[in-house]
Structure 1
């Protein structure tokens, strides 16, 4: 149902599974809380924390594989293409989660800190919007960010505006985050808005 590989101008998105993401590399990166990977900073506004065990990393990949097989989500490894700094390296994850009853998709992503500030979030979003609307015929795609995450807000606003979408507003007490529940902003792009913006 989902393509195993998607290429954009600067990125390669490969199906996230044990064949494309080495669990030891994944754990080394995701467990490096305050080291060179700065995962404490990466996960500051995420609903997950740096991994504590190798089993946690394995179970994450297992879960992505299960959701792919069940048609619930397309999870991808993000890698820069040739010509980009860090070409071929594991840069982070991207996903499109599907609610078939509502004909709606939800975007998600995270990137290692060294790959921030390159516009990869918007480029990945464009590829997954095309998947959602052109291949899966969904009616709507949504994306949220933690209310305090200004970096994500800027990136999301840029591509949502480019595809004709809108900010739907603040959802209070929406995202479980450690011991608290955080507010998030929600944005949506409809299939009609996407087509108007791309045709």
Structure 2
């Protein structure tokens, strides 16, 4: 599966299309702050969605609006590409905002970092792996990065299973456990890191 990347001179394409998904720039032009607030604050299952993520449900529409503004700044300076994930026409819930995917870019290390969260109703559809394929293609073929990493918090078995599937399919490896990786409220938590190199990606794609 290859993503369709919009032709542009900007660091990140504003849209990506896969077989089942439309990924569009996460910005105010593509969602209202109130709609995004409603999803992040009170969507069905949002506490489960956020359980292993480094954020909590938003407290106010103003907080959500500020977040969207930050998304725009990070996009413009080329450090983080965030996309709204929407199912395409033939999918159930076509056009609905399903979640947010991101690729952080560290030019010092020539490394990209993948992340995603999906609303609970969209779990189990394989969207995480499909989104990963699109962002890996962008990272290696467009941005010419050397490595893409993905990290999940210890105990997040749902993410672990999804990550293991797509990392293996693109020739990547499990790198190990990261002790005291970040804080989570009053706790300090471990995480697990996986990587895919540009060479591993190329070999995997050539073999498909």
Task: Name the SS for the 1:101 alignment partner.
Answer: coil
Deviations 1:69-117 (A, max 9, x none): 0110111000000111110000000000000011100001000000000
Does 2:35 match 1:28? no
Does 2:176 match 1:169? yes
Task: Assess if the C-alpha contact under 8 Å between 1:107 and 1:142 holds in 2.
Answer: yes
Once residues 183 and 107 of structure 2 are traced to their aligned partners in structure 1, the CA distance between those partners, rounded to angstroms, is 24
Deviations 1:143-190 (A, max 9, x none): 011110000000000000000000100001102212212110000000
Once residues 155 and 70 of structure 1 are traced to their aligned partners in structure 2, the CA distance between those partners, rounded to angstroms, is 30
User: Of 8, 18, 23, which aligns to 1:8?
Assistant: 18
TM-score computed with the length of structure 2 as normaliser: 0.93
Unpaired segments ≥5 residues, structure 2: 1-10
Once residues 71 and 116 of structure 2 are traced to their aligned partners in structure 1, the CA distance between those partners, rounded to angstroms, is 13
Which residue pairs with 1:19 in the alignment? 29
Which residue pairs with 2:7 in the alignment? none
Task: Name the SS for the 1:102 alignment partner.
Answer: coil
User: Of 178, 186, 191, which aligns to 2:193?
Assistant: 186
Deviations 1:97-139 (A, max 9, x none): 0000111000010000000000000000000000000000000
TM-score computed with the length of structure 1 as normaliser: 0.97
- How do 1:42-191 and structure 2 match up within 5 A? 42-191=49-198
Task: Show structure 1 runs of 4+ deviating over 4 A.
Answer: none
Aligned-pair CA distance for 1:56: 1.3
Aligned-pair CA distance for 1:38: 1.4
Task: Assess if the C-alpha contact under 8 Å between 1:6 and 1:127 holds in 2.
Answer: yes
Which residue pairs with 2:5 in the alignment? none
Task: Assess if the C-alpha contact under 8 Å between 1:48 and 1:178 holds in 2.
Answer: no
Unpaired segments ≥5 residues, structure 1: none
Once residues 189 and 63 of structure 2 are traced to their aligned partners in structure 1, the CA distance between those partners, rounded to angstroms, is 23
Once residues 55 and 123 of structure 1 are traced to their aligned partners in structure 2, the CA distance between those partners, rounded to angstroms, is 32
